[in-house]
Structure 1
Amino acid sequence: GLLESVYEEALCYELAKAGIRFKRQQGISFMYEDIKMDLGFRSDVIVEDRIMIELKSVETVTPVHYKILLTYLRLTNIKLGLMINFNVELIKDGIKRVVNNL
């Protein structure tokens, strides 16, 4: 497989070509008491402010990967996330939904 950044570049190219709004490498901050915490959290791609996509190119997506995506969903109040692992035989086997029940 290729690096995650290559897949991200290709995905963003296709989204732009299709006229779909997206944000790439969007910073995620949160409030702690009265302090805005900006700690370098970044989502790979957010589509139409409704779907967060995390891209992987790893042998195994671990529970920690899913937990991080769910945390990002909660911090942004986005309800749906997709974990896409490109290091699989069939891409459909590498796509998993993660739902933030808020």
Structure 2
Amino acid sequence: MKDWGPGLLKSVYEQCLKFELERNGYDVKQQLVVKIEYDNLELESTLRIDLLVNDSVIVELKTVENILTIHEAQLLTYMKLLEKP
């Protein structure tokens, strides 16, 4: 992947990373829907995490020049909603 450099769609990098992780023995779920519950009501959600590795590590890929505070907040929210450390 690093041979290609920047410029490809995020989905391309995501597929390649999933392949590499699985090739190295990891269990990887891709585009996992994040369920949102509010006061015993399950809301329809379009939130998806990019990769969940070994049911414990959330990988959220970004094709941006810099990681922003909002990106960190997004990951922390996903961790909280999925109850992952």
| TM-score, length basis structure 2 | 0.86
- Structure 1: runs of 5+ lacking an equivalent: 80-102
| Structure 1 consecutive aligned stretches of length 4 or more whose deviation exceeds 2 Å | none
- Structure 2: runs of 5+ lacking an equivalent: 1-5
Q: Percent sequence identity over matched residues?
A: 35
| TM-score, length basis structure 1 | 0.73
CA RMSD of aligned residues (A): 1.0
State the distance in 1 between where 2:22 and 2:66 align. 29
CA deviations over 1:53-86 (Å, ceiling 9, x no partner): 010111111100110110000000111xxxxxxx
**Matching residue of 2:20:** 14
Q: Is the 8 A contact 1:28 1:38 kept in 2?
A: no
The structure with the largest strand share of the pair is 1
**Do structure 1's residue 43 and structure 2's residue 49 form an aligned pair?**
yes
State the distance in 2 between where 1:27 and 1:60 align. 25
**Do structure 1's residue 74 and structure 2's residue 59 form an aligned pair?**
no
